[in-house]
Amino acid sequence: MQPQADPFIAPHCHAEIEILYRDEHILVINKPSGLLSLSGKHPLNIDSVHYRLVKDFPGCTLIHRLDLGTSGIMLLAMNKQVNKLLCKQFSERQVSKHYAALLQGSLEADSGLIDCGIAKDVDNFPLMKLCQDTGKPARSKFRVLSRFVQTAADNLFLDDSRAKKRQVTRVEFQPLTGRTHQLRLHSQYLGHPILGCDLYASDEAYFMSTRLMLHATQLGFDHPVSGEIMTIKCNSPF
């Protein structure tokens, strides 16, 4: 029996990929929300960051991925040797990453460290879950940037009927580990899920935004060839 194709079909993403930096060795881009990092198994999910970029940059490969709804900085290698060098930096946790996020409610603490393991949720595959006993170690720093009341004027609502005033906290995350869905789950751990999260947020938090409010704002790494310390920044659109 042939395996069934993935039933999920991503809506077409009309937004363009922005190139933030490139040379003969690396390519750094700003991924729009709603675009897959890699093409999916379903034939209608062929559009992706890699599918688009390989047309202009043959041989380029992804070093890491961002979820469909997450926007922001992604790093690609222009050849296999550079890919190997960059992947080594990621695996050895020599790369620094920062994200901006909008969380539901007013987060009391101004900053802190979330230290809570993450494991596969075998009852709800392919979701993950918080689990200190069986989960892999996962740590994230957070810092509150602002607290505000969301209104219809913020243009984040799916429709006007949901335009109620709600408390929102804008935070900066710095994941110290790289577990699947780490920031989504650690936001849930805080009791303040990311707006627009379709996997772990409550219905109210999900419907507070037209997209996942998570954006990769900064990436720090050593250039794989020159050794230069690279700090790439990309302002959050929200």
Catalytic residues: 67
What does the block give as tokens for 9? 């079909």
Q: CA 221 to CA 121: how far, in whole Å?
A: 32
Strand partners, 74: 29
β pairing state of 71-77 and 214-222: parallel
Q: CA 122 to CA 51: how far, in whole Å?
A: 31
Q: CA 103 to CA 187: how far, in whole Å?
A: 7
Strands (E) in the chain, as ranges, are 18-22, 26-31, 61-62, 71-77, 96-104, 111-115, 118-120, 128-130, 139-150, 166-175, 214-222, 229-233
